[in-house]
Structure 1
Amino acid sequence: MSLQKILSISGKPGLYELKAQTRGGFVAESLADKKKISVNVRHNVSMLSEIAIYTHTEEVPLAEVFQKLADKEEGKESLSHKSSANELTTHFKEVLPDFDEGRVYASDIKKVYQWYNILVNAGVNTFVEETPATEEKPTEE
């Protein structure tokens, strides 16, 4: 399952997988209970593949942050998003040491852990697609 089709919908708990487009929106399926819902254009929807975390040097795509978390946790669940903000921030610094503490809030970190755990429980264990190595062709001079 690719993060390209995973959505966060404002006002709706959890994460959803995009299933089909309709005339006035789309149909999404909850990763937690597999219930399908109809989402219209009035909902604020974020695709996880479009979200990034600020660091002091660049923006790191959420998929890479999830992959670092998965590597640290050996593919298993991580801390609960209900852990203390201090505990989550300390753990997040181990995963992404140079994140920008001025622009990444405790609520953002809680969302990262909540979404990561939802994805792991849904069977997702690889977040960054491996790109096949391309062979470099020698240039003729």
Structure 2
Amino acid sequence: MALDKILSIGGKPGLFKLLTQTRTGFVGESLLDGKRVSVGMRNNVSVLSEIAIYTLEEEIPLRQVFQKIKEKEQGKKTSISHKAEKIQLEEYFFEILPNYDEDRVYASDIKKIVQWYNILLDNGITNFSEGDTEDVHSEEE
């Protein structure tokens, strides 16, 4: 499954898989517990493929950050919990992305990234390369 079908919904924990669009919003399924939710257009919704992380030079797509975590952890879950102390999270993220902008990337952002990575891994979503949407389509054909 491609990251363009995975959503973060403001005020709701975890990540959601986009199931279908409706006239007033869309229906998503939680990757944590499988429950379906109906979300209106007024909710703050982010598609993971559209999120980027600030560095000192440019913005790095979230998929590249996930790929760096995957390489560091050799395809396993993160060695640090998203509930770890702020300083530990920052040190871990510095190993992943040494040039991240410490003024614009907060500890809460790092917590989400670590948590999201582990949720995606639990759900078998591990292809974070640039062409993951093409890979998914070619597998379906």
* TM-score normalised by length of structure 2: 0.89
Specify the alignment match of 1:111 in structure 2.
112
- Distance of 2:125 and 2:5 partners within structure 1: 13
Post-superposition Cα deviations, 1:24-46, rounded to whole Å, max 9, x if no partner, equal 11010111111111111121101
- Distance of 2:103 and 2:38 partners within structure 1: 36
Residue 48 of structure 2 corresponds to residue 16 of structure 1: no
Residue 75 of structure 2 corresponds to residue 59 of structure 1: no
- Distance of 1:99 and 1:64 partners within structure 2: 13
User: How much does 1:81 deviate?
Assistant: 0.4
- Distance of 1:14 and 1:110 partners within structure 2: 12
Where structure 2 has 5 or more consecutive residues not aligned to the other structure, the ranges are 135-141
Aligned residue for 2:124, secondary structure, equals coil
User: How much does 1:3 deviate?
Assistant: 0.3
Where structure 1 has 5 or more consecutive residues not aligned to the other structure, the ranges are 133-141
Question: 2:63, 2:130 within 8 Å by CA — same for their partners in 1?
Answer: no
- Distance of 1:121 and 1:88 partners within structure 2: 20
Write 1 or 2 for the structure with the bigger share of helix: 2
Specify the alignment match of 2:137 in structure 1.
none
Specify the alignment match of 2:91 in structure 1.
90
- Distance of 2:131 and 2:38 partners within structure 1: 33
User: How much does 1:129 deviate?
Assistant: 3.6
State the structure with bigger RCO (CA 8 A, min sep 6), 1 or 2.
Answer: 2
Amino acid at match of 1:42: R
Q: In the TM superposition, what are the counterparts of 1:1-141 in structure 2 within 5 Å?
A: 1-78=1-78, 79-130=80-131
Please tell me whether Structure 1 or Structure 2 has the larger radius of gyration of its CA atoms: 1
* Misfit runs of 4+, over 2 Å: 129-132
- Distance of 2:106 and 2:123 partners within structure 1: 26
Aligned residue for 2:113, secondary structure, equals helix
- Distance of 2:6 and 2:106 partners within structure 1: 22
**Alpha carbon RMSD of aligned pairs, Å?**
1.4
* TM-score normalised by length of structure 1: 0.89
Post-superposition Cα deviations, 1:76-133, rounded to whole Å, max 9, x if no partner, equal 110210011111110111100000111111111111111111111111111124489x
Aligned residues: 132
